[in-house]
Amino acid sequence: METAKNPQNLSQNQSRRVSTSNDLEVSTYLEIAEHKTGQKSVMTKEPAAEPEREAIVIIDFGSQYSMLIARRVRELQVYCELVSHDTPWEKIASLNPKGFILSGGPSSVYEKDAPLAPSYVFEKHLPVLGICYGMQSITKQLGGVVAPGNHKEYGHSVMHLSRMDSPLFNGLPETLTVWMSHGDKIEQMPKGFTSLAYTENSPVAVMGNDQGIFGLQFHPEVVHTPEGKTILNNFVYSICGCRGNWTIGNFIEENVSRIRERVGDGKVICALSGGVDSSVVAVLIHRAIGNQLTCIFVDHGLMRKEEVERSMVTFKENLGMNIRLSSSAERFLKRLKGVIDPETKRKIIGEEFIRVFEEEARTIGKVDFLAQGTLYPDVIESASSGSKAAAKIKTHHNVGGLPADMQMQLLEPLRSLFKDEVRKVGSELGLPDDMVWRQPFPGPGLAIRIIGEVTKEKADLLREADYIVMHEIKAAGLYRQVWQSFAVLTDVRSVGVMGDFRTYGHLLAIRAVTSDDAMTADWARLPYDLMARISNRIVNEVPGINRVVYDITSKPPSTIEWE
């Protein structure tokens, strides 16, 4: 049997790339969020982009990977925006676009009402890169033919470059592995296009014309296409002529001035939870408007051990921020009494959370904005089933559970960022490492790690077990390498024996995953000795738990959290 002493995933994760990032135009993102969630945002429009800016504009056809394309382009230090396919040219023009990328999507171009690229994509004489569905839309719109493929092609394919001289292929070997996910194929290319590469099942895996319009049947944005970044790099720099002037420093600078402009002399409340997202939001906004920001730490009774106390020390004493603690455990637990459905738990906690803020707000006078550390994965995973773009997976309380009658406007400056980008922003803003590298913790806290009804007793039990997991993972030097590591209190009880006595106790599950962005995850191959120590300590130190199991499922098909 293979032992888990030298876990491949962990060593790979040691070199987890911390990318550079930029901000995507907040107003545009809100529209995408509205388009996907069907929820009307209360935010107002942002000022137009500065004229010297360069941008790649990504037309979003609703692929789950659309945001990954944006992320890859930003990793290349090029500003980009993801916009819906019906965005008018006037909004795009102010960005000074250098090229377009058309994303993948779940539709087929020959279906009735299938989304197509806006006409300006082909009329402005800018380079275009169509990815999967994006390539098919180019084909259809420029007079070629797309048809259902005989073979659907999912997963890895070997691709051969037939035109090594294409600028898209600078620095690439003749044969490379690419990741495919398509059922349709290009039956006939539009006039003026030639096939630049092929796979066994796709004679046209890449096509291009001499106007700088290219199509890729595969996905260069996913990690399973190892040379994907080189291809995007070639498109962005060699073909579009970008300069690559987008950095984290720029993100901060732009957002600080945007926040100042938007907030004016208004007041902001920040939903501080001790996690990296809300911490970075708080510090960013504090930098912009100082003490116009009041941070409120809601202790819903479902935080990790010592989390509340630690956060108060950091923000109040060390960073000199205006922070209030609202100890509301009882009222949350009361509302959760008897509730076992995970989505209902989330909704209740989300609603109660905002109510507490509103009550706090009343005690400090008029408050205009509620700041939240919403990240992009939250936004896309909460996309409503009303959109064809993505299926609803979970309602993250900081996106979907806001009450309709909320009085404050939302301020979500991290809405376009991935976690690693947020960490980079946090470091640049001077947050301590300990805070920047804190593992993610869900808004509803331990409630979604207690299967079944949430009670104070169960929360206390889980808190102790969770603390041991965290402590041991840190002691083993693995805390930063795993994306999340935590305990889940199941509603299963099992028989055990302790000393001379039979026990009938709780079954506790340990979950530790590696991930880059929480959209996919693999279970962490923790060393057996470490697992043994964790299990041993928990059954000995936490009364009521007599059995510990380790969760060995990846995401998908599971999710990271159990509820």
Name the residues that contact ligand XMP, by CB under 6 A.
Answer: 346, 394, 396-398, 440, 442-444, 484, 518, 555, 559-561
Q: Shortest gap between Cβ of 73 and ligand XMP (angstroms)?
A: 23
> In the complex, what is the shortest distance from the CB of residue 379 to ligand XMP, in angstroms, rounded to a whole number?
11
Q: Is 219 a known active-site residue?
A: yes
Nearer to ligand XMP, 234 or 398 (CB): 398
**Measured CA distances, 356 to 194, 263, 279, 400, 558 (Å):** 61, 22, 19, 17, 32
CB of 450 to ligand XMP, least distance (A): 14
> In terms of CB distance, is 495 or 552 closer to ligand XMP?
552
- CB 104, min distance to ligand XMP, A: 22
User: Least distance (Å) from ligand XMP to the CB of residue 7?
Assistant: 20
Q: Residue 95: beta bridge partners?
A: none
Task: With beta carbons less than 8 A apart as the criterion, state whether 293 and 285 touch.
Answer: yes
Return phi, psi of residue 260, to 5°: -55, -50
Q: Is 139 helix (H, G, I), strand (E, B) or coil?
A: helix
Measured at the CA of 103, the angle between CA 101 and CA 105, to 5 degrees, comes to 165
Q: Judged by CB, which is closer to ligand XMP: 220, or 440?
A: 440
| Non-local CB neighbours of 440 within 8 Å, separated by 6+ positions | 275, 276, 277, 419, 483, 484, 518
CB of 369 to ligand XMP, least distance (A): 19
- 239: nearest Cα among 125, 327, 407, 106: 125
Q: In whole angstroms, how close is the CB of 215 to ligand XMP at the nearest point? A: 32
* Residue in 35, 85, 219, 286 annotated catalytic: 219
Closest Cα partner for 61 from 39, 84, 33, 38? 84
45 secondary structure, DSSP code: P
> What is the longest distance spanned by two Cα atoms in the chain?
83
Q: In angstroms, how far is CA 506 from the centroid of its own chain?
A: 33
SS3 percent helix, strand, coil of the chain, rounded to 5, is 35, 25, 40
Q: Which is nearer to ligand XMP, 115 or 444 (CB)?
A: 444
Looking at the Cβ atoms of 204 and 349, the one nearer to ligand XMP is 349
DSSP class per residue in 143-173? T-EEEEEEEEEEEEEEEEES-TTSGGGTT--
| CB contact at 8 A, 377 and 517 | yes
Q: How far is the CB of 442 from ligand XMP (least distance, A)?
A: 3
- 300 close to 418: Cβ distance less than 8 angstroms: no
CB count, 10 Å around CB of 400? 21
Q: Which residue in the list 25, 31, 75, 221 is annotated as catalytic?
A: 221
Q: Which one, 368 or 561, has the nearer CB to ligand XMP?
A: 561
Radius of gyration of the chain (CA): 25
Asked about 85 being catalytic, the answer comes back as: no
State the virtual CA torsion across 140, 146, 87, 421 in degrees, nearest 10. Answer: -140
Q: Which is nearer to ligand XMP, 292 or 484 (CB)?
A: 484
Helix, strand, or coil (residue 449): helix
Nearer of residues 118 and 445 to ligand XMP, judged by Cβ:
445
132: annotated active-site residue: yes
The single residue of 31, 81, 85, 132 carrying the catalytic annotation is 132
Question: Shortest approach of ligand XMP to residue 300 CB, angstroms?
Answer: 12
Q: Which of 259, 244, 242, 159 is nearest to 206 (CA)?
A: 159
Nearer to ligand XMP, 100 or 297 (CB): 297
Measured at the CA of 330, the angle between CA 324 and CA 336, to 5 degrees, comes to 120
Residues 48-68: b if buried by 16+ CB within 10 A, e if exposed:
ebeeebbbbbbbbbbbbbbbb
Which of the residues are catalytic?
132, 219, 221
